[in-house]
Structure 1
Amino acid sequence: MDRTADSPEHVPSVAVVGGGISGLTTALRLLTARDSASQDSASQGLAPAGVQVTVYESAPRLGGCLSRTELGGLLPGGADEGAEASLHRRPETRELMEELGLTPVHPSTAHGSRILTDHGLRAIPRGTLMGVPGDPRALAEVLSPEGVARVAEETLTPPQDGDVSCGGFLASRLGDEVVDTLIDPLIGGVYAGRCRELSLAATVPALLPAAQQGTPVLETVREVLASRAQTQGASIPGASGGNGQPPVFCSLRGGISGLIPALADRLTALGACIRTGTGVREIRAGRPSGEARPAVRTQAGWEQYDHVVLAVPAWAAAGLLREADPRTAELLSGIGYASSAVITAVLDDAGTDALSGSGYLVPPVRGSLVKASTFSSNKWPWLAAELPAGRHVVRMSVGRLGDTAWQQCDDAALIEAALAEWREATGQEAAVVHAEVRRWERALPQYAPGHAELAAALTASTSAGLSLAGSYLEGVGIPACISRARATAQRVLADLSSTILTKEHA
């Protein structure tokens, strides 16, 4: 396919490779921006007709890590089997829901998240920033007296340039116990990684000044909490607003994955072409002069476009760009990924009194298979309302960076092992009505120290006519993906405008 770029009626065309939340939101922004662009086509450089957008998705379905299950027919309306919520305090997801005519739902305020300790499940301490306290006394229920004392006796370290290891820095300041027991399951759990290998700037950016200036962490946390500032990292899993505070998370009835069909319907109505089950095998870059246009190769052959957006994982983008843009491919290859799995179970007669809380986290130092569990029907009122009395839905997450033994287990063995740990942690012996496994291979990017600089280098390095979007750039959460998608769409439109103006004045 070759859309003639020099014809007067030429409409700029964009290929979006990847049909997850990043790719679909990029496509939406490209199409909904055309009205404002056409209002001032002389300055914007875009034809009144806007752009033509084609979305390529190799899988038979859209959505990527936003996926739903009917739990063996027990929940026809569906529930999430991947990401299950979005941060409410960031506006991007709420704005997208409103644009798509969707109504957000929020977690129950009657339940809180806990952490597994040597003394059983304990409430995650309040008054912390991703487990880092302003007042060490808040940690008394989860740390030993020696651990609390070590936190209180913060050891100042010399100012450091640039980014640092989140876990390494906090261990040097506050001790190993608080990092291993509380901070690692909170921060590392978001990425299925290890907080000692993750970037402080990417995970808890509010604490970076303490590292760079050599000032106290405890004091910084108190200041942040007092000003009610929010970091860009994820909040405590399972937490919800209380005492008049806005909720931490939002979702949709039926699951946050409901964003995907709504996006697909809107894109189709706007004229986008969505091609599922169509893998892109190779990318050809354009030339800055515009004499050669970028193109994608599928099983059907090469197809030319004015711009190509890669909204796939970093490792997949690296493979596609190895020949066309080796420098960018090399940078992309440096981003590590972790695999994980979610076991979802429907339990009968669990007992609402005994099954309290919204879930729990497990410190990696315990050596457990299960790293976290969500009591989904406690957490989400809409889900509880769709279940018969006495039935509950729970999720168990497994998989951290470097853990591979679980990947050798078949689904039945994985379910059995995860449920055994869950029963030991909760004391529950409820009957299992249904259980299933959803594996997510190389799904969670790892934000190593210096990641922000790497993301900036990637944005700057791409060849003419190519752009990048995805969770490996500016955040793994849904709001961060939407934010990057919006920015990517604006860069694409600016590139198309520049190209058209150049041709008009040639």
Structure 2
Amino acid sequence: MHTRTGHVVVIGGGIAGLAAAHRLATAGVPVTLLEATHQLGGKLQAGEIAGAPVDLGAESMLARRPEAVALARAVGLGDRLQAPATTSAAVWTRDALRPMPKGHVMGVPADATVLGDLLTEEGLRRVERDRDLPPSEIGDDIAIGAYVAERMGHEIVDRLVEPLLGGVYAGDAYRISMRAAVPKLFDEARTHRTLGDAVRAVQRSGAQPADVAGSGAAQPAAAFMGIDGGIGLLPGAVADAVRAAGGEIVTEAPVTALRRTAADGSPAQDRWEITAAGRTLHADAVVLATPAWSAAALLADVSPTASAELGAVEYASMALVTFAFRRADIEGLPGSGFLVPPVDGRTIKASTFSSQKWQWVTDRSPDLFVLRTSVGRHGEEEQLHRDDADLVAASLKDLAAATGLTARPVATEVTRWIGGLPQYPVGHLTRVARIREAVAALPGLRVCGAVYEGVGIPACVASAHHAADEIIATPTLARGTRRDRRE
């Protein structure tokens, strides 16, 4: 591990940390990235099942935000970007697979005409009552489930908004911040008399509701992109680009201490001292790209305020169960997959038919059919304590009930993401503002990642670029970097 003037240490090797290190390294800043585990990428993880390459974490990235696609192109993956082969998805509710409605904003329709038979007749009538209700008071923030239920009834929340948001946050729509999850709709709802009018305003603007990852294939094809070989290839490509630009990446290097220190024995504390894997590094700046609980521990001494706020962030855990079947045994599965509302009491919350959603999966493994299910929402941590065989059996039971699938898999893989997704309850963005204000008081320190302004890959990359750009602009680092170049 090196220690140089103008040196930046990035703590955390998920996609946010990697994107920050890439931004710094390609700007000519000496950078060292420290990752606690043996593996880079965080929730972006490539794997294999029955010899077929698969994603064992995130499988797509929002394409209508430019940051993640641009990063993929910058690290040499541009020719491997691939849109979904199909995005025809369903909702498994009321004991049937029902077509995913189109023309909604994160499950919120302008009116009932787009919903088909998703809701009961009473549910459809309740949606239409929105136009007859007086305007609702929203204030500075409100839970999206509570607001939509007030305007259009609980059924539209329970059977469409909830499963769509559950695919993004693995959370509870009745707790999730409308301002954070669907900011454009939040803004429009504050200025329109009805919720339907607000939805129409969003649709006219062409804006997307939020940076979402999505566990089902429920958005238009142009909205998302994958990578031939898997999104899990992106972290390795970014890491290679960081090294090629002169950056250093160290894995199995958990950071146990972070403190301010003097550069030359003077009283001024103008540098950072990082203890990792029994070694000490000194840096002019630090980018902290770790989950909230880890950041809270590292900031406990240097910023108790930021530490306390980060320590209050809640997370949801989930598991992905990936299956490989003989293709000859599979027939009649519809579209790209389906979402499952929690109100229906099933174990799985979604299933993606990977071999139908992604052409690269079929091209690379033509004799196999790959699909996956996801299990676990906020407050359902007990699901993660079930053993692998139990999760596989429960998933197969639900798949059979939903689709009639009776084939037996040739291989299965269970991937657990403990504390995988930060929750964005009402007031989350105000909390983030307080964290950023506290961190900004410490020269040469910035934070980035899924906890701040979005859980999707583009939001994480944007967060990382913002942090890196602010570090690059600091006078101390700029002077140090220029001095390094002269040397």
With the length of structure 1 as denominator, give the TM-score of the two structures. Answer: 0.89
1:80 lines up with 2:59 in the alignment: no
Instruction: Judge conservation of contact 2:168–2:213 (CA < 8 Å) in 1.
Output: no
Task: Give the letter for the 2:45 counterpart.
Answer: S
Instruction: Judge conservation of contact 2:85–2:356 (CA < 8 Å) in 1.
Output: no
Gaps of 5+ in 1: 4-9, 35-50
**Structure 1 range deviating more: 300-309 or 258-267:** 300-309
Corresponding position of 2:217:
238
Aligned length: 473
Instruction: Judge conservation of contact 1:181–1:363 (CA < 8 Å) in 2.
Output: yes
2:97 paired residue among 121, 136, 141: 121
Residue 297 of structure 1, CA deviation:
1.0
Equivalent residue runs for 1:89-108 within 5 Å: 89-102=64-77, 103-108=79-84
The 3-state SS of whatever aligns with 2:240 is helix
Task: Give the letter for the 1:416 counterpart.
Answer: A
The 3-state SS of whatever aligns with 2:435 is helix
1:258 lines up with 2:233 in the alignment: yes
**Structure 1 range deviating more: 371-380 or 456-465:** 456-465
Residue 215 of structure 1, CA deviation:
2.2
1:172 lines up with 2:187 in the alignment: no
User: For 2:34 and 2:253, how far apart are their aligned partners in 1?
Assistant: 6
Instruction: Judge conservation of contact 1:202–1:233 (CA < 8 Å) in 2.
Output: no
1:401 lines up with 2:378 in the alignment: yes
The 3-state SS of whatever aligns with 2:97 is strand
Residue 365 of structure 1, CA deviation:
0.9
User: For 1:369 and 1:492, how far apart are their aligned partners in 2?
Assistant: 45
2:38 paired residue among 60, 65, 73: 60
User: For 2:181 and 2:30, how far apart are their aligned partners in 1?
Assistant: 37
Query: Identity of paired residues, percent?
Result: 38
Corresponding position of 1:28:
22
Equivalent residue runs for 1:111-150 within 5 Å: 111-150=87-126
The 3-state SS of whatever aligns with 1:425 is helix
Corresponding position of 2:127:
151
**Structure 1 range deviating more: 432-441 or 490-499:** 490-499
Q: Deviations over 1:305-326 (max 9, x none)?
A: 1111110101111111112221
Residue 417 of structure 1, CA deviation:
1.2
Corresponding position of 1:311:
289
Corresponding position of 2:364:
386
1:441 lines up with 2:418 in the alignment: yes
Residue 210 of structure 1, CA deviation:
4.6
User: For 1:351 and 1:88, how far apart are their aligned partners in 2?
Assistant: 34
Task: Give the letter for the 1:205 counterpart.
Answer: P
Rate the CA distance shift 1:63–1:225 in 2: closer, same or farther, 3 A: same
Residue 370 of structure 1, CA deviation:
0.3
Residue 367 of structure 1, CA deviation:
1.8
Rate the CA distance shift 1:248–1:467 in 2: closer, same or farther, 3 A: same
Corresponding position of 1:39:
none
**Structure 1 range deviating more: 216-225 or 96-105:** 96-105
User: For 1:297 and 1:53, how far apart are their aligned partners in 2?
Assistant: 16
User: For 1:201 and 1:341, how far apart are their aligned partners in 2?
Assistant: 28
Rate the CA distance shift 1:109–1:419 in 2: closer, same or farther, 3 A: same
Instruction: Judge conservation of contact 2:84–2:226 (CA < 8 Å) in 1.
Output: no
1:472 lines up with 2:451 in the alignment: yes
Corresponding position of 2:403:
426
Task: Give the letter for the 1:18 counterpart.
Answer: G
With the length of structure 2 as denominator, give the TM-score of the two structures. Answer: 0.92
Corresponding position of 1:494:
473
Task: Give the letter for the 2:348 counterpart.
Answer: V
Residue 496 of structure 1, CA deviation:
4.5
Task: Quote the RMSD (CA, aligned, Å).
Answer: 2.2
Instruction: Judge conservation of contact 1:445–1:476 (CA < 8 Å) in 2.
Output: yes
Corresponding position of 1:7:
none
User: For 1:79 and 1:323, how far apart are their aligned partners in 2?
Assistant: 41
User: For 2:161 and 2:176, how far apart are their aligned partners in 1?
Assistant: 12
1:360 lines up with 2:338 in the alignment: yes
Residue 407 of structure 1, CA deviation:
2.0
User: For 1:329 and 1:256, how far apart are their aligned partners in 2?
Assistant: 32
Rate the CA distance shift 1:235–1:101 in 2: closer, same or farther, 3 A: closer
Corresponding position of 1:18:
12
Rate the CA distance shift 1:108–1:158 in 2: closer, same or farther, 3 A: closer
Corresponding position of 1:281:
256
Corresponding position of 1:217:
195
Task: Give the letter for the 1:365 counterpart.
Answer: V
Q: Deviations over 1:114-133 (max 9, x none)?
A: 10111410111111111111
Corresponding position of 2:304:
326
Instruction: Judge conservation of contact 1:20–1:62 (CA < 8 Å) in 2.
Output: yes
Corresponding position of 1:249:
224
Residue 23 of structure 1, CA deviation:
0.4
Corresponding position of 2:269:
291
